[in-house]
Amino acid sequence: MSSVPERAAIDEAYKWDLRDIYEDDEAWETAYEAVADRIDELRDYEGRVTEDAATLLELLELREEIFRELQQVTTYARLRGSEDTRNQEYQAMSARASSLSSEASSALSYLEPELQSLTEAGVGEFLESEPALEAYEHYLNDVLRMKAHTRSAEVEEVLADLSEVTDAPSEIYSMLTNADMTYGVVEDPDGEETEITQSNFTKLQTNPDRDFRRRVHETFYEQWGDVRNTVGTSLEKAVREHATSAEIRGYDSARAAALDGSNVPVEVYDTLVDTVDDNLDVLHRHAELKEAALGVDQLESHDLYMSLTGDQGPDVEYDQAREWVIEAVAPLGEAYQDRMAEGLDSRWVDVYENRGKRSGAFSSGTYDTQPYIMMNYQDDIASMYTLAHELGHSMHSELAGDAQPWHDASYEIFVAEIASTVNETLLTHHLLDTVEDDELRTHVLDEYLERFRSTLFRQTMFATFEQRIHERVEAGDALTPDAFDEMYAGLKGDYYAPTELTGGVEREWERIPHFYYDFYVYQYATGISAAAAIVERVLEEGEPAAADYREMLRAGGSDYPLNVVELAGIDMASPDPIESAVGIYDDYLDEIAALLGLS
| pLDDT of the residue at 563 | 97
Q: In angstroms, how far is CA 236 from the centroid of its own chain?
A: 21
pTM for the predicted model, two decimal places? 0.87
Contact 408, 557 (CB under 8 A): yes
| pLDDT of the residue at 328 | 98
- Domains plus CATH for the chain? 7-166 (1.20.140.70), 185-316+389-599 (1.10.1370.20)
Closest CA to 381 of 203, 174, 211: 203
**What is each CA distance from 425 to 9, 273, 290, 378, 412, in whole angstroms?**
34, 22, 22, 20, 21
CA distance linking residue 308 with residue 290, whole number of Å: 5
pLDDT in tens, 463-514: 999 999 999 999 999 999 999 999 999 999 999 999 999 999 999 999 999 9
Burial 461-485 (b: 16+ CB within 10 A, else e): bbbbbbbebbebbbeeeebebebbb
The interaxial angle of helices 458-474 and 481-495, nearest 10 deg, is 140
CA distance linking residue 202 with residue 557, whole number of Å: 34
HSE (side-chain half, CA atoms, 13 Å) at 529: 31
519: left (phi over 0), alpha (psi -120 to 50) or beta: left
Beta-bridge partners for 350: 374
What percentage of residues in the chain have a pLDDT greater than 90? 90
pLDDT in tens, 169-218: 999 999 999 889 999 999 999 999 999 998 899 989 999 999 999 999 99
Which residues are catalytically annotated? 390
| pLDDT of the residue at 153 | 82
Q: Could you tell me which residues come within 8 angstroms of residue 128 by beta carbon, excluding any fewer than 6 positions away? A: none
Contact 193, 3 (CB under 8 A): no
Contact 377, 387 (CB under 8 A): yes
| pLDDT of the residue at 2 | 58
- List of the chain residues with pLDDT < 50: none
CA distance linking residue 373 with residue 362, whole number of Å: 6
The helix, strand and coil proportions of the chain, stated in percent and rounded to the nearest 5, come to 70, 5, 25
Mean pLDDT of the chain: 95
The interaxial angle of helices 458-474 and 266-278, nearest 10 deg, is 120
CA distance linking residue 464 with residue 471, whole number of Å: 10
CA distance linking residue 468 with residue 125, whole number of Å: 45
Kindly calculate the radius of gyration of the chain based on its CA atoms and give it in whole angstroms: 24
| pLDDT of the residue at 467 | 98
Contact 314, 435 (CB under 8 A): no
Closest CA to 100 of 16, 151, 31, 188: 31
CA distance linking residue 589 with residue 540, whole number of Å: 22
| pLDDT of the residue at 79 | 97
Contact 77, 53 (CB under 8 A): no
